[in-house]
């Protein structure tokens, strides 16, 4: 697998499909990260993806298998904290180590940006929380409301929230 920073808008439709399929899709042999049962609607729209790619304090790393985008993760710089988000692996490839390799690559790439890494995960997605915990992330105890105002889907359940996890360098 090759990783590269997405600097342009080429292949945007594939990346958009990858993210929405991973977060809200219902198919895929190794599927375990979907929020389909928790949130309806797309995880990201075209304008938000373009804004993410073009924002000066963020980078989108895309993982390619041959020439096909199969994974991605966003890095956002906030003073001494580096936040990872928009982390997606093609549903048919989940559970095969693509996500672990991408996260390791992103952590190495982001090391000069800050001394702490942070992720925010839907609290009801315990499998994903455990994924991060196995990689050294710990729950901070901080819970955030689901960001309904950020056009990232509409909750299907009451009291949905985000759990904040951090990893110190």
Whether the per-residue pLDDT at 8 is higher than 90: the answer is no
Percent of the chain whose pLDDT exceeds 90: 75
5-15 average pLDDT score: 89
User: What is the value of pTM for the model shown?
Assistant: 0.93
Residue written as token pair 């909750």: 155
Give me the domains of the chain, ranges plus CATH numbers. 2-168 (3.40.630.30)
Sequence-separated (6 or more) residues with CB below 8 Å from residue 145: 161, 162
Max Cα–Cα distance, the chain, nearest Å = 42
- 165 vs 162: CA distance, rounded Å: 10
Burial of residue 18 (number of CB atoms within 10 Å: 0-12, 13-18, 19+): buried
Tell me which residue of 98, 27, 29 sits closest to 62, measured CA to CA. 98
**DSSP H helical segments within the chain, as ranges?**
12-24, 46-54, 98-110, 126-134
pLDDT at 30: 60
Confidence (pLDDT) at 52:
95
What integer pLDDT is reported at residue 29 of this predicted model?
59
> Which string of b and e fits 124-134 if b means at least 16 CB within 10 Å?
bbeebbebbee
Mean of the per-residue pLDDT values of the chain: 92
Nearest by Cα to 54 from 79, 82, 74, 68: 74
Q: Write out pLDDT tens, residues 20-78.
A: 999 998 776 566 678 888 999 999 999 999 999 999 999 999 999 888 999 999 999 98
For residue 28, the model assigns a pLDDT of 63
pLDDT surpassing 90 at residue 87: yes
* Residue 165 burial (CB count, 10 A): 22
4-8, 118-122, 160-164: which has the minimum mean pLDDT? 4-8
Q: How confident is the model at residue 67, as a pLDDT?
A: 87
Give the pLDDT mean for 146-169: 94
Percent of the chain at pLDDT > 70 equals 97
């Amino acid at each position: 697998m090759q990783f590269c920073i997405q600097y342009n808008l080429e292949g945007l439709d594939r990346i958009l499909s990858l993210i929405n399929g991973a977060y809200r899709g219902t198919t895929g042999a190794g599927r375990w990260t979907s929020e389909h049962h928790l949130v309806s609607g797309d995880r990201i729209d075209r304008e938000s993806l373009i804004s993410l790619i073009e924002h000066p304090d963020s980078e989108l790393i895309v993982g390619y298998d041959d020439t096909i985008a199969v994974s991605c993760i966003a890095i956002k710089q906030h003073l001494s904290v580096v936040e990872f988000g928009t982390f997606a692996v093609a549903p048919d490839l989940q559970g095969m180590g693509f996500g672990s390799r991408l996260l390791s690559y992103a952590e190495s790439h982001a090391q000069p940006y800050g001394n702490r890494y942070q992720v925010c995960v839907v609290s009801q997605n315990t499998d994903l929380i455990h994924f991060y915990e196995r990689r050294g992330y710990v729950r901070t105890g901080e819970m955030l409301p689901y960001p309904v105002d950020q056009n990232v889907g509409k909750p299907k359940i009451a009291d949905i929230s985000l759990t904040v996890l951090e990893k110190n360098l």
